[in-house]
Structure 1
Amino acid sequence: MIQLSGQSTVTYMQFRELLNSIDSKPGKSTLSDPGDWLQGRAMFGGLQTILCLHAMRSLLPDTPLRSLQTTFVQPAKSLQVTAHANIVRAGKSVTHVESRLLDDDNNVIALVVGVFGAARESQINLKPVQTGLGNGSQRIEFPTAGGVPSFTRHFKPVWLQGTLPFTGDTETHHIVQISMPGETDCNEYHVIALADFIPPIAICHLTNPAPGSSMTWMLEFLNEDYQGLALENWRVDAELMAAGEGYTHQSVMLWGPGGEPIALSRQNMVVFG
């Protein structure tokens, strides 16, 4: 158990324990307690998407995941949340599945659409290549105390380019090396968690703490090469594409520990500062 600033005592829960605690039925996945997987008063956004995917997988267990599109609606008003999933359309190769995450009062917390597609023969094969870090490399570790969101304790991030939130730095391209201590054998749920870790780059431009919140998030899986990879020394290349009127637009490229291109994401966020 740990005590978070301004919050009640919550349970430290390793990622694999969190996944094992999900109660699964066909088209339905329930998490009774997110433990310390929180960011402020809301559940970690990556976990919200993971729960919705978990419900989808009870209906479509084997088809490769190609993309997830999430809209974050509001924080849950209860510890327990349930994801309900249904198949929208099953085509010859591609299946669309919809999921809604609800709290105990049936408030919609998040909406997720998953697109699953069987592999097909194609003459087109293009893979991104990871670039080097260049001169002036650095290693800035993320703090583990001082009011940081509790979910961050499950990651070990090091900034190789860019810097930490609320430092007044105006760099728009961040590179973060990231691990999940205690976790082994990567699966698609780990990929989602890793891809959603990095804070909004825009808040690094601020000099005083200010809240922020994700509104929409799109995550595209480039392949299934992540299966079974070690969860050490992954790399996130993030870029703040635009910002204005309180809204920011950020892209991410996620690389495996050997430089494997794993996923692309685009996120629209609101920053109150």
Structure 2
Amino acid sequence: MKNFQALLAGVKETDQANEYSAHVDATWLQGRTAFGGLSTALIVKAMLEVIPADRQLRSVAVMFVGPVPEGDHRIKLRELRVGGSVTHMQGELLCDGEVAATVSAAFGKNRQSAASLAGPVMPDVVAPDSIQALPYIEGLTPTFTQHFDMRICSGGLPFSQSESADFSLWLRFKETGTADLAALIAIADVPPMPGLNMIKAPGIGSSLSWYLEFPQALSKADMLDWWFCDYRSQAAGNGYFHNYATIWDADGKAVMFSRQVATVFEK
């Protein structure tokens, strides 16, 4: 069983131009595919290998095209444009030659500006240590969740037929090490999507598209640090949920905004 850092360290250049190798371990699957946070993190990791350090990740747009099974895969990068301040880059995760996920990312330098707006204030919530952890149950909960610690603060659990799709939770990795942007991206996709808590079992939820914004540079963090996620649904119907989330770090600083179009299959 490989941990997250081992999988990210496995992203290496191949002998082909603008191409990287990547591996997905069986313990990181969600059904028959790698969970979307890992697929996205692998592509962004390859991008960070070539982007200058003074250009911070500002936004990521992801399309989940097909399954990413266990095994060895390829990442293909394409530089769309390098401007004076912003670099636009595109990446594809290829499985057996087929596109499984695409990422379009913007990396930008800091600019001098007199305008500044504070991010949203983190809600006053119960500390994670006082909340019971969600258990990992082999064969019932998604396989990849064994790598994470999740603690629900508000809202209903998946398949609880809750009246609201909204919920919030604390979450963190179960491994040590430095948490970088790739780790933050993975964390953002760990929670069960809003909507699954409104239906009864059995049912399946799947991300169709995902958009992330990073309002400020990530402070030094550890993989065992807690992150707080407030996840809400803006609208839903005909099997599709339009969701958005804010993630705060352990110091209460908003570090990521997320939007998602997700599908829910009720059986």
Instruction: Output the CA distance in 1 between the equivalents of 2:115 and 2:162.
Output: 40
1:241 & 1:122 partners in 2: Cα distance? 32
Shift of 1:196: 0.9
Q: Is residue 2:178 matched to residue 1:185? A: yes
Sequence identity, in percent?
31
8 Å contact 1:186–1:228 — kept in the other structure? yes
Contact 1:29 1:54 in 2 (8 A): no
Choose from 224, 236, 244 the match for 1:243: 236
What whole-Å deviation, never above 9, does each CA across 1:204-263 have from its counterpart, x for those lacking one? 011212112111000111111333356322100110111101111110101001111100
* 1:115-164 Cα deviation digits (max 9, x unpaired): 00000011111122112239xxx835322005211111111010001121
Q: Secondary structure at the match of 2:178?
A: coil
CA RMSD of aligned residues (A): 1.8
Match of 1:262 among 241, 245, 255: 255
Question: Which residue does the alignment assign to 1:47?
Answer: 38
Counterpart Cα distance in 2 of 1:226 and 1:215 = 30
Give the equivalent residue in structure 2 for 1:226: 219
Residue 83 of structure 1 and its aligned partner are, at CA, apart by: 1.0
Alignment match of 1:65 (pick from 40, 57, 67) = 57
Looking at structure 1, the residues matched to 262 and 199 of structure 2 have their Cα atoms a distance apart, in angstroms, of 15
| SS of structure 2 residue aligned to 1:80 | strand
One-letter amino acid matched to 2:87: T
1:85-104 equivalences in 2 (<5 Å): 85-104=77-96
Aligned to 2:105: 114
* Equivalent position SS for 2:87: strand
Per the TM alignment, residue 167 of structure 1 is displaced from its structure 2 partner at its CA by 1.1
CA distance in structure 2 between the partners assigned to 1:271 and 1:237 by the alignment: 20
> SS where residue 44 of structure 2 aligns?
helix
Give 2:20's match in structure 1, choosing from 29, 47, 50: 29
Q: Secondary structure at the match of 1:201?
A: coil
Comparing 29-38 with 67-76, which one deviates more in the overlay?
A: 29-38
Given the two structures, how large is their TM-score scaled by the length of structure 2?
Answer: 0.91
Show CA shifts across 1:30-65 (max 9, x none). Answer: 123433111110111011111211222232142210
Contact 2:7 2:23 in 1 (8 A): no
| Equivalent position SS for 1:141 | coil
2:206·2:264 contact (CA, 8 Å) conserved in 1? Answer: yes
CA distance in 1, matches of 2:234, 2:178: 33
Partner of 1:4: none
Could you give the per-residue CA deviations for residues 161-206 of structure 1, whole angstroms, max 9, x where no partner exists? 1121111112232110111122332210111011111111101011
1:123 aligns with 2:114: yes
Greater mean alpha carbon deviation, residues 144-153 or residues 30-39: 30-39
Q: Is the 8 A contact 2:24 2:69 kept in 1?
A: no
Judge conservation of contact 1:142–1:157 (CA < 8 Å) in 2: yes
Partner AA of 1:196 in structure 2? D
Q: Is the 8 A contact 1:22 1:30 kept in 2?
A: yes
**CA separation in 2, counterparts of 1:176 and 1:43?**
22
In 2, the alpha carbon distance for the partners of 1:14 and 1:127 equals 35
The alignment partner of 1:18 has SS state of helix
Structure 1 contact 142–164 (Cα < 8 Å) conserved: no
**What is the CA–CA distance in structure 1 between the aligned matches of 2:183 and 2:68, rounded to whole Å?**
23
